[in-house]
Protein backbone atom coordinates (compact mmCIF):
# COMPACT_ATOMS: atom_id res chain seq x y z
CA UNK A 1 0.00 0.00 0.00
CA UNK A 2 2.79 2.39 0.86
CA UNK A 3 5.99 2.72 -1.16
CA UNK A 4 9.25 3.46 0.62
CA UNK A 5 9.02 7.18 -0.15
CA UNK A 6 5.54 8.25 -1.27
CA UNK A 7 4.61 11.65 -2.69
CA UNK A 8 3.16 12.62 0.71
CA UNK A 9 6.43 11.65 2.39
CA UNK A 10 8.57 13.53 -0.14
CA UNK A 11 6.55 16.69 0.38
CA UNK A 12 7.05 16.56 4.17
CA UNK A 13 10.75 15.73 4.17
CA UNK A 14 12.03 19.25 4.93
CA UNK A 15 9.06 20.45 6.97
CA UNK A 16 9.35 20.46 10.74
CA UNK A 17 6.29 18.72 12.17
CA UNK A 18 5.22 18.01 15.72
CA UNK A 19 3.36 14.93 16.97
CA UNK A 20 2.36 13.92 20.49
CA UNK A 21 0.50 11.50 22.73
CA UNK A 22 -2.16 12.59 25.22
CA UNK A 23 -3.26 10.53 28.22
CA UNK A 24 -3.20 10.22 32.00
CA UNK A 25 -1.03 8.61 33.33
CA UNK A 26 1.49 9.22 30.54
CA UNK A 27 4.95 8.95 32.12
CA UNK A 28 5.05 5.19 31.32
CA UNK A 29 4.53 5.81 27.57
CA UNK A 30 7.15 4.42 25.20
CA UNK A 31 5.54 6.09 22.17
CA UNK A 32 7.89 9.14 22.19
CA UNK A 33 10.97 6.86 22.06
CA UNK A 34 9.35 4.72 19.37
CA UNK A 35 8.25 7.53 17.04
CA UNK A 36 11.30 9.78 17.49
CA UNK A 37 13.51 6.81 16.54
CA UNK A 38 11.31 6.16 13.51
CA UNK A 39 11.41 9.82 12.33
CA UNK A 40 15.20 9.92 12.75
CA UNK A 41 15.66 6.62 10.94
CA UNK A 42 13.86 7.81 7.80
CA UNK A 43 15.35 11.34 7.93
CA UNK A 44 12.17 13.25 8.77
CA UNK A 45 12.53 16.56 10.63
CA UNK A 46 9.80 15.75 13.18
CA UNK A 47 9.44 15.57 16.96
CA UNK A 48 7.03 13.55 19.17
CA UNK A 49 6.30 14.47 22.79
CA UNK A 50 4.02 13.28 25.60
CA UNK A 51 1.38 15.46 27.30
CA UNK A 52 -0.39 14.51 30.50
CA UNK A 53 -4.02 15.40 29.89
CA UNK A 54 -6.39 14.59 32.78
CA UNK A 55 -9.96 13.59 31.83
CA UNK A 56 -11.42 16.99 32.82
CA UNK A 57 -8.93 18.87 30.58
CA UNK A 58 -9.54 16.97 27.34
CA UNK A 59 -11.60 19.64 25.55
CA UNK A 60 -9.30 22.56 26.38
CA UNK A 61 -6.21 20.49 25.52
CA UNK A 62 -7.61 19.55 22.11
CA UNK A 63 -8.26 23.26 21.48
CA UNK A 64 -4.59 23.96 22.24
CA UNK A 65 -3.44 21.17 19.90
CA UNK A 66 -5.54 22.64 17.09
CA UNK A 67 -4.17 26.14 17.81
CA UNK A 68 -0.57 24.91 17.65
CA UNK A 69 -1.17 23.18 14.31
CA UNK A 70 -0.13 19.77 15.59
CA UNK A 71 0.35 17.31 12.70
CA UNK A 72 -0.96 14.24 14.48
CA UNK A 73 -1.31 12.60 17.88
CA UNK A 74 -1.95 9.38 19.70
CA UNK A 75 -4.65 9.04 22.33
CA UNK A 76 -4.34 6.74 25.30
CA UNK A 77 -5.98 5.92 28.63
CA UNK A 78 -8.55 7.37 29.55
CA UNK A 79 -9.52 9.36 26.39
CA UNK A 80 -10.03 6.83 23.56
CA UNK A 81 -13.83 6.94 23.76
CA UNK A 82 -14.30 10.45 25.22
CA UNK A 83 -12.43 12.05 22.32
CA UNK A 84 -14.95 10.97 19.67
CA UNK A 85 -17.22 14.07 19.86
CA UNK A 86 -14.18 16.28 19.11
CA UNK A 87 -13.12 14.35 15.98
CA UNK A 88 -14.22 15.73 12.58
CA UNK A 89 -14.02 12.48 10.60
CA UNK A 90 -13.75 8.83 11.64
CA UNK A 91 -11.92 6.15 9.66
CA UNK A 92 -13.82 2.78 9.46
CA UNK A 93 -11.39 1.27 12.04
CA UNK A 94 -12.40 3.93 14.60
CA UNK A 95 -16.08 3.66 13.68
CA UNK A 96 -16.05 -0.09 14.21
CA UNK A 97 -14.26 0.14 17.56
CA UNK A 98 -16.11 3.32 18.57
CA UNK A 99 -12.74 4.43 19.96
CA UNK A 100 -9.82 6.48 18.60
CA UNK A 101 -6.10 6.02 19.32
CA UNK A 102 -4.57 7.95 16.39
CA UNK A 103 -5.48 11.35 14.99
CA UNK A 104 -4.17 12.76 11.72
CA UNK A 105 -4.55 16.53 11.51
CA UNK A 106 -4.95 17.77 7.96
CA UNK A 107 -5.41 21.52 7.46
CA UNK A 108 -7.13 21.89 10.82
CA UNK A 109 -9.32 18.80 10.41
CA UNK A 110 -8.98 15.94 12.91
CA UNK A 111 -9.33 12.48 11.31
CA UNK A 112 -9.55 9.64 13.87
CA UNK A 113 -8.25 6.11 13.35
CA UNK A 114 -7.97 3.07 15.56
CA UNK A 115 -4.63 1.37 14.91
CA UNK A 116 -5.07 -0.77 18.06
CA UNK A 117 -7.46 -2.94 15.98
CA UNK A 118 -4.70 -4.05 13.62
CA UNK A 119 -2.03 -3.75 16.32
CA UNK A 120 -3.83 -6.21 18.57
CA UNK A 121 -4.43 -8.90 15.96
CA UNK A 122 -1.01 -8.85 14.25
CA UNK A 123 0.87 -10.84 16.95
CA UNK A 124 -1.87 -13.53 16.85
CA UNK A 125 -1.66 -13.69 13.05
CA UNK A 126 2.15 -13.90 13.22
CA UNK A 127 1.75 -17.02 15.39
CA UNK A 128 -0.83 -18.43 12.93
CA UNK A 129 -3.35 -18.89 15.73
CA UNK A 130 -6.57 -20.63 14.69
CA UNK A 131 -9.70 -18.95 16.10
CA UNK A 132 -11.92 -21.90 15.25
CA UNK A 133 -13.93 -22.93 18.34
CA UNK A 134 -11.86 -20.55 20.48
CA UNK A 135 -13.08 -19.62 23.98
CA UNK A 136 -11.79 -16.21 25.03
CA UNK A 137 -11.58 -14.42 28.37
CA UNK A 138 -11.29 -10.64 27.95
CA UNK A 139 -10.50 -8.72 31.14
CA UNK A 140 -11.40 -5.02 30.98
CA UNK A 141 -14.00 -2.95 29.12
CA UNK A 142 -12.28 0.31 28.24
CA UNK A 143 -11.07 1.83 24.98
CA UNK A 144 -8.57 -0.94 24.27
CA UNK A 145 -11.23 -3.63 24.84
CA UNK A 146 -13.35 -2.02 22.12
CA UNK A 147 -10.48 -2.27 19.62
CA UNK A 148 -9.92 -5.89 20.65
CA UNK A 149 -13.58 -6.78 20.07
CA UNK A 150 -13.50 -5.00 16.68
CA UNK A 151 -10.38 -7.00 15.74
CA UNK A 152 -11.83 -10.33 16.94
CA UNK A 153 -15.02 -9.71 14.95
CA UNK A 154 -12.94 -10.02 11.76
CA UNK A 155 -11.93 -13.60 12.68
CA UNK A 156 -14.04 -16.62 11.78
CA UNK A 157 -15.16 -19.38 14.15
CA UNK A 158 -14.73 -17.86 17.65
CA UNK A 159 -16.94 -19.87 20.01
CA UNK A 160 -17.52 -17.46 22.88
CA UNK A 161 -16.07 -14.45 24.75
CA UNK A 162 -16.39 -13.95 28.51
CA UNK A 163 -15.92 -10.33 29.52
CA UNK A 164 -14.78 -9.54 33.06
CA UNK A 165 -14.81 -6.01 34.41
CA UNK A 166 -15.11 -4.20 37.75
CA UNK A 167 -17.98 -2.06 36.43
CA UNK A 168 -20.75 -4.20 34.93
CA UNK A 169 -22.32 -1.28 33.04
CA UNK A 170 -19.15 -0.79 30.96
CA UNK A 171 -18.86 -4.52 30.30
CA UNK A 172 -22.50 -4.54 29.13
CA UNK A 173 -21.69 -1.86 26.55
CA UNK A 174 -18.85 -4.04 25.19
CA UNK A 175 -21.14 -7.10 25.16
CA UNK A 176 -23.73 -5.17 23.11
CA UNK A 177 -20.99 -4.03 20.75
CA UNK A 178 -19.70 -7.62 20.41
CA UNK A 179 -23.14 -9.00 19.66
CA UNK A 180 -23.77 -6.23 17.08
CA UNK A 181 -20.55 -7.39 15.39
CA UNK A 182 -21.72 -11.04 15.38
CA UNK A 183 -19.78 -12.32 18.42
CA UNK A 184 -21.28 -14.27 21.32
CA UNK A 185 -20.29 -12.68 24.65
CA UNK A 186 -21.37 -12.52 28.26
CA UNK A 187 -20.30 -10.98 31.56
CA UNK A 188 -18.54 -12.37 34.61
CA UNK A 189 -17.55 -10.69 37.84
CA UNK A 190 -13.84 -10.26 38.57
CA UNK A 191 -14.06 -12.72 41.47
CA UNK A 192 -14.95 -15.56 39.05
CA UNK A 193 -12.03 -14.83 36.71
CA UNK A 194 -10.02 -17.86 37.79
CA UNK A 195 -12.57 -20.51 36.90
CA UNK A 196 -13.16 -18.94 33.46
CA UNK A 197 -9.42 -18.53 32.86
CA UNK A 198 -8.82 -22.25 33.24
CA UNK A 199 -11.36 -23.00 30.48
CA UNK A 200 -10.15 -20.29 28.08
CA UNK A 201 -7.95 -20.77 25.00
CA UNK A 202 -7.03 -17.09 24.93
CA UNK A 203 -6.81 -14.87 28.03
CA UNK A 204 -6.44 -11.14 27.35
CA UNK A 205 -5.68 -8.47 29.94
CA UNK A 206 -6.87 -5.09 28.64
CA UNK A 207 -6.85 -3.34 32.03
CA UNK A 208 -3.91 -1.25 33.29
CA UNK A 209 -3.48 -3.76 36.11
CA UNK A 210 0.18 -4.81 36.02
CA UNK A 211 1.60 -1.37 35.19
CA UNK A 212 2.63 -0.88 38.81
CA UNK A 213 3.95 -4.41 39.31
CA UNK A 214 0.69 -5.46 41.00
CA UNK A 215 0.06 -9.13 41.67
CA UNK A 216 -1.67 -10.63 38.61
CA UNK A 217 -5.46 -10.93 38.66
CA UNK A 218 -5.02 -14.48 37.28
CA UNK A 219 -2.80 -17.01 39.03
CA UNK A 220 -0.62 -19.63 37.22
CA UNK A 221 -2.78 -22.41 38.66
CA UNK A 222 -5.72 -20.91 36.77
CA UNK A 223 -3.91 -21.00 33.41
CA UNK A 224 -3.75 -24.09 31.18
CA UNK A 225 -0.45 -24.82 29.40
CA UNK A 226 -2.47 -24.99 26.15
CA UNK A 227 -3.71 -21.41 26.53
CA UNK A 228 -2.39 -18.19 25.05
CA UNK A 229 -2.01 -15.33 27.54
CA UNK A 230 -1.92 -11.87 25.97
CA UNK A 231 -1.18 -8.95 28.30
CA UNK A 232 -1.53 -5.66 26.43
CA UNK A 233 0.24 -3.80 29.28
CA UNK A 234 3.75 -3.16 27.90
CA UNK A 235 5.47 -1.44 30.80
CA UNK A 236 6.91 -3.36 32.58
CA UNK A 237 7.60 -5.71 29.67
CA UNK A 238 7.23 -8.80 31.86
CA UNK A 239 4.11 -8.16 33.93
CA UNK A 240 3.15 -10.44 36.77
CA UNK A 241 0.47 -11.97 34.50
CA UNK A 242 3.11 -12.80 31.86
CA UNK A 243 5.29 -14.32 34.61
CA UNK A 244 2.33 -16.43 35.85
CA UNK A 245 1.61 -17.58 32.28
CA UNK A 246 5.25 -18.58 31.76
CA UNK A 247 5.12 -20.47 35.05
CA UNK A 248 2.06 -22.33 33.69
CA UNK A 249 4.03 -23.03 30.46
CA UNK A 250 1.37 -21.26 28.40
CA UNK A 251 2.11 -19.31 25.21
CA UNK A 252 2.63 -15.60 25.98
CA UNK A 253 2.10 -12.49 23.87
CA UNK A 254 3.71 -9.32 25.21
CA UNK A 255 2.11 -5.88 25.19
CA UNK A 256 5.12 -4.45 23.34
CA UNK A 257 4.19 -6.55 20.29
CA UNK A 258 0.87 -4.69 20.03
CA UNK A 259 2.62 -1.39 20.81
CA UNK A 260 4.99 -1.86 17.87
CA UNK A 261 2.25 -2.93 15.46
CA UNK A 262 -0.17 -0.10 16.34
CA UNK A 263 2.69 2.45 16.38
CA UNK A 264 3.90 1.34 12.94
CA UNK A 265 0.43 1.77 11.51
CA UNK A 266 0.09 5.27 13.07
CA UNK A 267 3.50 6.26 11.64
CA UNK A 268 2.39 5.14 8.17
CA UNK A 269 -0.89 7.10 8.40
CA UNK A 270 0.99 10.29 9.36
CA UNK A 271 3.93 10.05 6.97
CA UNK A 272 3.01 7.78 4.07
CA UNK A 273 6.29 5.93 4.66
CA UNK A 274 6.65 2.24 5.53
CA UNK A 275 7.47 2.16 9.26
CA UNK A 276 11.14 1.44 10.05
CA UNK A 277 10.24 -1.41 12.42
CA UNK A 278 13.85 -2.41 13.18
CA UNK A 279 14.72 1.16 14.29
CA UNK A 280 11.56 1.22 16.42
CA UNK A 281 12.49 -2.12 18.02
CA UNK A 282 16.01 -0.85 18.72
CA UNK A 283 14.51 2.15 20.53
CA UNK A 284 12.54 -0.23 22.73
CA UNK A 285 15.13 -2.94 23.38
CA UNK A 286 18.52 -1.30 22.84
CA UNK A 287 21.39 -3.18 21.19
CA UNK A 288 20.39 -6.56 22.67
CA UNK A 289 17.29 -6.97 20.50
CA UNK A 290 13.89 -8.49 21.05
CA UNK A 291 13.65 -10.63 24.21
CA UNK A 292 11.73 -13.55 22.59
- Enumerate the active-site residues: 80
Read out DSSP for 204-250? EE-SSTTTT-PPPSS-GGGS-TT-EEEE---SSSS-HHHHHHHHTT-
Question: Quick check: 258 binds ligand NAP (CB under 6 A)?
Answer: yes
Part of the chain binding ligand NAP (CB under 6 A), chosen from 9-17, 126-134, 135-143, 267-275: 135-143
Question: Quick check: 240 binds ligand NAP (CB under 6 A)?
Answer: no
Question: Quick check: 211 binds ligand NAP (CB under 6 A)?
Answer: yes
Cα(205)–Cα(176) distance, integer angstroms: 20
Question: 150: alpha, beta or left, given left = phi > 0 and alpha = psi -120 to 50?
Answer: alpha
Count Cα neighbours of 290 within 13 Å in the Cβ-side half-sphere: 12
Question: Quick check: 218 binds ligand NAP (CB under 6 A)?
Answer: no
Among 103, 228, 259, 280, binds ligand NAP (CB under 6 A): 259
Sign (positive/negative) of CA torsion 120, 126, 132, 138? negative
Helix axis angle, 277-285 relative to 31-41, nearest 10°? 140
Sign (positive/negative) of CA torsion 274, 262, 53, 79? positive
The distance of closest approach from Cβ of residue 258 to ligand NAP in the complex, given in angstroms and rounded to an integer, is 4
- Count of chain residues binding ligand NAP (CB under 6 A): 28
Among 74, 206, 222, 240, binds ligand NAP (CB under 6 A): 206
Q: Between residues 5 and 78, which has the closer beta carbon with respect to ligand NAP?
A: 78
The distance of closest approach from Cβ of residue 23 to ligand NAP in the complex, given in angstroms and rounded to an integer, is 8
Closest CA to 224 of 192, 264, 251, 190: 251
- Residues 60-99, mask of contacts with ligand NAP (x by CB under 6 A): ----------------xxx-x-------------------
Q: Which of residues 15-44 bind ligand NAP (CB under 6 A)?
A: none
Q: Where on the chain is the footprint of ligand NAP (CB under 6 A)? A: 76-78, 80, 116, 119, 140-145, 165-167, 170, 206-209, 211, 232-234, 255, 258-259, 262
Amino acid sequence: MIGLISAQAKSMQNLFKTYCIIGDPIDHSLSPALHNAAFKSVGLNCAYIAFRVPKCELEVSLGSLRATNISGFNVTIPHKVGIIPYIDELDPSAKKANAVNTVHCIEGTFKGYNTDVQGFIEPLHKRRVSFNGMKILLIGSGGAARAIIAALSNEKGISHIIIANRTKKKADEIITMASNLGLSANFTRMEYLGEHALKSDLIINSTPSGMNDEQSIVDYEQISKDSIVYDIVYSPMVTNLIAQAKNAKATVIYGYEMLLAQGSKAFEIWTGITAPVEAMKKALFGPFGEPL
